[in-house]
Structure 1
Amino acid sequence: MDEKRKIIEFKHIVKNFDDMQVLKGIDLDIYENEFVTLLGPSGCGKTTLLRILGGFIEATDGQVLLNGEDIKDLPPYKRELNTVFQKYALFPHMNVYDNIAFGLKIKKEAKDVIDQKVMKMLKLIGLEGYEKKDVTLMSGGQQQRVAIARALVNEPAVLLLDEPLSALDARLRKEMQYELKRIQQEVGITFIFVTHDQEEALTMSDKIVIMKEGEIQQVGTPQDIYNEPVNRYVASFIGESNIVDGRMVKDEVVRFDDIDFECVDKGFKPMEKVDVVIRPEDIDIVDKEKGKMTGIVSSVLFKGVHYEIMVETVPGTTVTVNMHVQKNSANVVSEGEESISANDFYLDLEDMEGIDEKEIIARADAQAWIPETDENISIANISTDLKQEVGEYEVTFSTSNGTSITRKIRVIDQRVIENKKANEAISAFNFFKTIDEIQESMALDTDLRVWANAQAWKLTDEDEDIELNVDYDFDAESIHEGIYPVTFSTTGRMFKIHTTKYCEEGKEVGLSFQAENIHVMEKMGF
């Protein structure tokens, strides 16, 4: 079989808009008769790349070759390609026939040739008999077909399609996906299609180009992209995935959730951190005795063709503390032209060793200022009877002018909640705040973690932090004095399974999968 001919070459394409680099050195080859999809979220650079190819904007650096020739200096109308835009851009004062014939008339083709080509296009798009129809009275799907015919009638080497299905409803959109693929196969030219819809890309493409922040992440067939994603970003962008943190123990053995699993991947360093992906359809729910791991069914959704079942294999870890909310005046002292404030706070006995004045100031959220100008002034002195014993102690914060406030430090033997199945521990403290401090917070979730000194870590590696979620049921805008519970939790491990077999919520089950269903990827840096 002859190799396909290379029709388009992007060579290190860079595009800057002011100080922002939108494309960061794109290298990509596109071959004749391919249906290529540029796929990625808004702002990833896919439309910019298409517009550079179309000649609507110029690359900052790099070359675009069409059939081996640099087309940088060619205006759009002289390039062997046509574009179908998102909003079709049909001429409202022209009927279907005249819209399709427009480009041919500009080229001054003979009338009988124009007639033959337009009628051929109408047959191709399934709109025979519509030539006199007013385009403004047509449905979105019909208008889109006319826009495609208007571009194809000029017999371009390449057709560029910039999210042409986005304005259609879901049913029509699906119909047009198949229609576009049929048209492409029938006319036998290269289509380059831009979308952020993964289903469109999987349905229509011969080749998918996954983009992120101006860079190509992966190029491959839909099957390659789906079954062998190169990183977490690609795996999560294409299809549904269970993505977990793991370590490559050795070739063909990967560890996640503290269990070693056989896999088919090789070439990683021993104990290298990796991302592991298992697709929902590749996991079977079995009796708990037969599973490679066990879990509790947390939810069951019927999706028509299959059930989507969520199974919690590792429970999250939770701790709840009390936030004591005081009046705004409860922790402020004003003397002369100065004011100073500080909060009572809790301190863990283990954290006593090596504690310094800076940390005491931070824990008490102590600050001083001049109310008239709102200018901050430094806290010059701290005195305390703090001891490395459980108990209640006083701490006094003072400015250089002697304005001071005394608060309490409660030293406790803090209870640490351990979750051995999850190999993690969590702790947090009760804390004191005023109404103003809560309402003036710019990032309340983050501040709540800081105020409570909430933290979670791996039992086997205390230096490995774990992300914490925070949950509360008060409204910061209308909060008043009182005691409010604040809950900090880690995210348990949930596996999503697609299966045709029903399973009831709350049941303990086993999960099974084959070694080839585990795909190990390099850890992605952000």
Structure 2
Amino acid sequence: MEEKVLIKFRNIIKEFDGTIVLKGINLDIYENEFVTLLGPSGCGKTTLLRILGGFLEADEGAVIFDNEDIKELPPYKRELNTVFQKYALFPHMNVYDNIAFGLKIKKMSKDVIDQKVLRMLKLIGLEGFENKNVTTLSGGQQQRIAIARALVNEPKVLLLDEPLGALDLKLRKEMQYELKRIQQEVGITFIYVTHDQEEALTMSDKIVIMKSGEIQQVGTPQEIYNEPVNKYVANFIGESNVISGTMIEDYKVKFDDQIFDCVDFGFKPNEKVDIVIRPEDIDIVPLEQGKITGEVLSVLFKGVWNEAMVETVPGTTVKVNMNVIKNHDVESEYSDERISANDFYVDIEEVASLDDNDIIARADAQAWKESDDSYTSISKIEHNLEEKLGEYTVTFQTASGLTVSRKIIVVDQKFVKNEKANEAVSAFNFFKTVDEIKESVALDTDLKTWANAIGWKLSNEDEAVDIYVDYDFDPENIQEGIYQVTFSTEGRELKVHTTDYVEEGQEVGLTFEVEDIHVMEKMGF
């Protein structure tokens, strides 16, 4: 028998105060499904639920309920009920009267009301509680009363907006199973909103992953967990190892400078991708049996298994000295013109290729008028630079004749080589003034530029490697002195769930099956 589509969201757009919170949502929900809208705070899941409930109106789009456009239908005429995180029970009424409230509004007979209320009490496991004061009940019991009050009206759909959020962990887990049991027994559609991935995986027939007002993926819990469409979904559902790689061709993916067989296809040749391998799908084996190898950085006991962090690709690190010197602008005697420059280091192998523009950039040489901060050009450069180790003088001059002289220090620059990571990193000591650091608007980028920090693949010097920067000074309160700046590449750590005993510092092999490698499209941000 073909499933019936009960609810259709078509191009739903909603804006609040100039911010679009729903960006053209299209979604089908079937009869008798338990559907969970899952995502972080602010992703739009509650807004979508409230539009369905009639508490908000979409700016654009349509909501089709049982083949009827319900845009103009007020909430009380829609065949659905809502259970909120705050149960909103009537404290002056007992359990019976709370559940019966909607039925009394409809002016049903007492016999019918009795039958329906008692059936609901049996359904939620609270038989004999009809005369109890709701304020004396536990949070879990109050939650069940709120659900019974909504279900007794026999809606086609029950909307649940984070209804378990106020419960403690143990009770919340119990109520997850209870909610699923109730949904299966009453046989109606439940639409559940949460940011808790465990709740979604435990209860749902279908999960809708949302991010920033858009749907990222729709699927069963198994599909979402085993076949996430991108890095966001992989990280949001379950624990993941997400690795950047390249899809060489169908069924062949490359990461960590190795090519692995996989089950994925349909990507462009050499397309940049993300790969996810779940921690429970990685096995620790003897070193010589591993598809990849690494060092155990930490081990945490998690009860029936251990969580091991294994560094498979060590990062490459270079530390340099940033010499912070006093401000040393040179001022003209005849005008408000100023000029400044810094000493700088250069590798002996680069000397022959340096031109005037390179020297200006490396020295951060500049000239300007103090009155309006307008730049003036540096028209002449003189130096005695040779392809020999040592210190050389360079003089920068403006058209008006204002000059400043600094040092070029030629060194045999060493670089750090990382054979396992197939990469190398190089960076120079450098000189900067207090003001130059304070006035930087993109300090991380400027530090890399000032230190001429670069990374590259050993197997291909033309292939760049991303460099990250770290420092422990406060740029707003920097003073003269020498500060250490660290440039490094990102290593790789894999999380492994294992019942094997491993020790920190141990070298281990890691292996996984072909089907455990899941290739995803690279996600744009």
Amino acid at match of 1:223: Q
The separation in 1 between residues aligned to 2:149 and 2:225, in whole angstroms, is 34
Q: Determine the structure 1 residue equivalent to 2:96.
A: 97
Q: Is the partner of 1:159 in helix, strand or coil? A: strand
The separation in 2 between residues aligned to 1:9 and 1:323, in whole angstroms, is 60
Instruction: Using the TM superposition, give the Cα deviation of residue 379 of structure 1 relative to its aligned residue in structure 2, in angstroms.
Output: 4.3
Instruction: Using the TM superposition, give the Cα deviation of residue 158 of structure 1 relative to its aligned residue in structure 2, in angstroms.
Output: 0.6
| Shift in alpha-carbon separation, 1:273–1:431, aligned structure 2, 3 A | same
The separation in 1 between residues aligned to 2:373 and 2:95, in whole angstroms, is 70
Amino acid at match of 2:329: V
Q: Is the partner of 2:466 in helix, strand or coil? A: coil
Q: Residues 270-309 of structure 1 correspond to what in structure 2 (within 5 A)?
A: 270-309=269-308
Q: Residues 348-497 of structure 1 correspond to what in structure 2 (within 5 A)?
A: 348-349=347-348, 359-367=358-366, 375-385=373-383, 387=385, 389-390=387-388, 391-397=390-396, 403-476=402-475, 478-497=477-496
Q: Is the 8 A contact 1:241 1:278 kept in 2?
A: yes
Amino acid at match of 1:305: V
Taking structure 2 as the reference length, the TM-score comes to 0.91
| Shift in alpha-carbon separation, 1:294–1:95, aligned structure 2, 3 A | same
Q: Residues 239-250 of structure 1 correspond to what in structure 2 (within 5 A)?
A: 239-250=238-249
Instruction: Using the TM superposition, give the Cα deviation of residue 261 of structure 1 relative to its aligned residue in structure 2, in angstroms.
Output: 1.8
Q: Is the 8 A contact 1:384 1:393 kept in 2?
A: no
Q: Is the 8 A contact 1:382 1:395 kept in 2?
A: no
The separation in 1 between residues aligned to 2:132 and 2:270, in whole angstroms, is 67
Q: Is the partner of 2:23 in helix, strand or coil? A: strand
Instruction: Using the TM superposition, give the Cα deviation of residue 289 of structure 1 relative to its aligned residue in structure 2, in angstroms.
Output: 1.2
Task: Please identify, of 344-353 and 506-515, the stretch whose mean Cα deviation from structure 2 is larger.
Answer: 344-353
CA offsets, 1:462-504, max 9 Å, x none? 4543332323333445544322221111121212110111101
| Shift in alpha-carbon separation, 1:88–1:351, aligned structure 2, 3 A | farther
Instruction: Using the TM superposition, give the Cα deviation of residue 32 of structure 1 relative to its aligned residue in structure 2, in angstroms.
Output: 1.3
Instruction: Report whether the alignment pairs 1:261 with 2:236.
Output: no
Instruction: Using the TM superposition, give the Cα deviation of residue 421 of structure 1 relative to its aligned residue in structure 2, in angstroms.
Output: 1.9
The separation in 2 between residues aligned to 1:101 and 1:374, in whole angstroms, is 78
The separation in 2 between residues aligned to 1:133 and 1:395, in whole angstroms, is 91
Instruction: Using the TM superposition, give the Cα deviation of residue 272 of structure 1 relative to its aligned residue in structure 2, in angstroms.
Output: 2.9
Q: Residues 304-343 of structure 1 correspond to what in structure 2 (within 5 A)?
A: 304-327=303-326, 329=327, 331-335=328-332, 337-343=336-342
The separation in 2 between residues aligned to 1:274 and 1:430, in whole angstroms, is 36
Instruction: Using the TM superposition, give the Cα deviation of residue 93 of structure 1 relative to its aligned residue in structure 2, in angstroms.
Output: 4.5
Q: Residues 6-155 of structure 1 correspond to what in structure 2 (within 5 A)?
A: 6-155=5-154
Q: Is the partner of 1:27 in helix, strand or coil? A: strand
Q: Determine the structure 2 residue equivalent to 1:186.
A: 185
| Shift in alpha-carbon separation, 1:436–1:138, aligned structure 2, 3 A | farther
Instruction: Using the TM superposition, give the Cα deviation of residue 383 of structure 1 relative to its aligned residue in structure 2, in angstroms.
Output: 2.2
The separation in 1 between residues aligned to 2:365 and 2:133, in whole angstroms, is 73
The separation in 2 between residues aligned to 1:294 and 1:318, in whole angstroms, is 20
Instruction: Using the TM superposition, give the Cα deviation of residue 172 of structure 1 relative to its aligned residue in structure 2, in angstroms.
Output: 2.3
The separation in 1 between residues aligned to 2:95 and 2:374, in whole angstroms, is 71
Q: Is the 8 A contact 1:348 1:411 kept in 2?
A: yes
The separation in 1 between residues aligned to 2:402 and 2:97, in whole angstroms, is 85
Instruction: Using the TM superposition, give the Cα deviation of residue 347 of structure 1 relative to its aligned residue in structure 2, in angstroms.
Output: 3.1
Q: Is the partner of 1:108 in helix, strand or coil? A: coil
| Shift in alpha-carbon separation, 1:461–1:190, aligned structure 2, 3 A | farther
Instruction: Using the TM superposition, give the Cα deviation of residue 399 of structure 1 relative to its aligned residue in structure 2, in angstroms.
Output: 5.5
Amino acid at match of 1:385: H
Amino acid at match of 1:384: E
CA offsets, 1:184-217, max 9 Å, x none? 1122111111112211111111111112222222
Amino acid at match of 1:176: M
Q: Is the partner of 2:253 in helix, strand or coil? A: strand
Q: Is the 8 A contact 1:83 1:151 kept in 2?
A: yes
Q: Is the partner of 1:101 in helix, strand or coil? A: helix
CA offsets, 1:392-435, max 9 Å, x none? 33344456665543332323343232223212221111111233
Q: Determine the structure 2 residue equivalent to 1:164.
A: 163
CA offsets, 1:61-101, max 9 Å, x none? 22211111111111111111111223333344544433333
Amino acid at match of 1:166: G
Q: Is the 8 A contact 2:383 2:395 kept in 1?
A: no
The separation in 2 between residues aligned to 1:360 and 1:522, in whole angstroms, is 42
| Shift in alpha-carbon separation, 1:368–1:43, aligned structure 2, 3 A | farther
Instruction: Using the TM superposition, give the Cα deviation of residue 144 of structure 1 relative to its aligned residue in structure 2, in angstroms.
Output: 2.5
The separation in 2 between residues aligned to 1:406 and 1:234, in whole angstroms, is 56
The separation in 2 between residues aligned to 1:486 and 1:469, in whole angstroms, is 11
Instruction: Using the TM superposition, give the Cα deviation of residue 296 of structure 1 relative to its aligned residue in structure 2, in angstroms.
Output: 1.3
Q: How many residues align?
A: 522
Q: Is the partner of 2:239 in helix, strand or coil? A: coil
Q: Is the 8 A contact 1:458 1:466 kept in 2?
A: yes
Instruction: Using the TM superposition, give the Cα deviation of residue 386 of structure 1 relative to its aligned residue in structure 2, in angstroms.
Output: 5.9
Task: Please identify, of 236-245 and 467-476, the stretch whose mean Cα deviation from structure 2 is larger.
Answer: 467-476
The separation in 1 between residues aligned to 2:26 and 2:518, in whole angstroms, is 26
Taking structure 1 as the reference length, the TM-score comes to 0.90
| Shift in alpha-carbon separation, 1:75–1:411, aligned structure 2, 3 A | farther
The separation in 1 between residues aligned to 2:119 and 2:393, in whole angstroms, is 91
Instruction: Using the TM superposition, give the Cα deviation of residue 358 of structure 1 relative to its aligned residue in structure 2, in angstroms.
Output: 5.5
Q: Is the 8 A contact 1:379 1:397 kept in 2?
A: no
Instruction: Using the TM superposition, give the Cα deviation of residue 353 of structure 1 relative to its aligned residue in structure 2, in angstroms.
Output: 6.3
Instruction: Using the TM superposition, give the Cα deviation of residue 356 of structure 1 relative to its aligned residue in structure 2, in angstroms.
Output: 5.7
Task: Please identify, of 303-312 and 405-414, the stretch whose mean Cα deviation from structure 2 is larger.
Answer: 405-414
